[in-house]
């Protein structure tokens, strides 16, 4: 059993967000939807909490109201194996109102921050040669969506 579950607060869009996320990521599904009853505080029958799973990671989403919003101070880092995976997730997560930020970061249409990061970038950043890793870091700072081939050229000093 998973010990820690990210719990996301939405203003009436928890079920919509959960359905959006499970439509984007493979091996994802809605696990449970709890609805408000007579006691409220939301309208009877409307979504209260949605439990869902993305790539084996369980999440919960609450329709808690407008009191809180998302911030880039917390984001979800997605480990991508290929440029095609980076491109696909980037396109889907920025669709319909999402925003590109920089350095592999984006905000989806619900205001949730994501880092779409190629594994190759992380490997190059961990190189024992600080000159190579700094070149990669500087290249990344110039990007919005990360480009694996451009990062590799920077790594090689090209």
Parse the chain into domains and list their residue ranges: 1-68, 70-158
* Triad 155, 135, 126: Cα angle to 5°: 70
What is the model's pTM?
A: 0.94
pLDDT, tens digit, 9 for 90 and up, residues 64-92: 999 999 999 999 999 999 999 999 999 99
Class level of CATH domain 70-158: alpha beta
Cα–Cα dist 95/82, whole Å? 20
| Residues of the chain under the 70 pLDDT cut | none
Mean pLDDT of the chain: 96
- 80: left (phi > 0), else alpha (psi -120 to 50), else beta? beta
**Fold entry, domain 1-68:** 3.30.720
Q: Give pLDDT, residue 90.
A: 98
């Amino acid at each position: 059993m998973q010990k820690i579950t990210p719990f996301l607060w939405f203003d009436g869009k928890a079920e919509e967000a959960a359905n959006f996320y499970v439509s984007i990521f493979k091996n994802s599904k809605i696990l449970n939807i709890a609805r408000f009853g007579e006691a409220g505080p939301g309208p009877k029958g409307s979504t209260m909490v949605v439990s869902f799973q993305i790539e084996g990671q369980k999440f919960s989403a609450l329709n808690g109201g407008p009191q809180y919003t998302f911030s880039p101070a917390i984001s979800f880092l997605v480990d991508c194996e290929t440029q095609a995976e980076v491109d696909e997730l980037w396109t889907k997560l920025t669709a319909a109102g999402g925003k590109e930020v920089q350095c592999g970061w984006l905000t989806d249409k619900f205001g949730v921050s994501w880092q779409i990061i190629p594994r190759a970038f992380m490997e190059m950043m961990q190189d024992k040669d600080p000159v190579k890793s700094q070149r990669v870091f500087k290249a990344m700072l110039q990007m919005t969506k990360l480009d694996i081939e451009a990062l590799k050229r920077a790594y090689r000093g090209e």
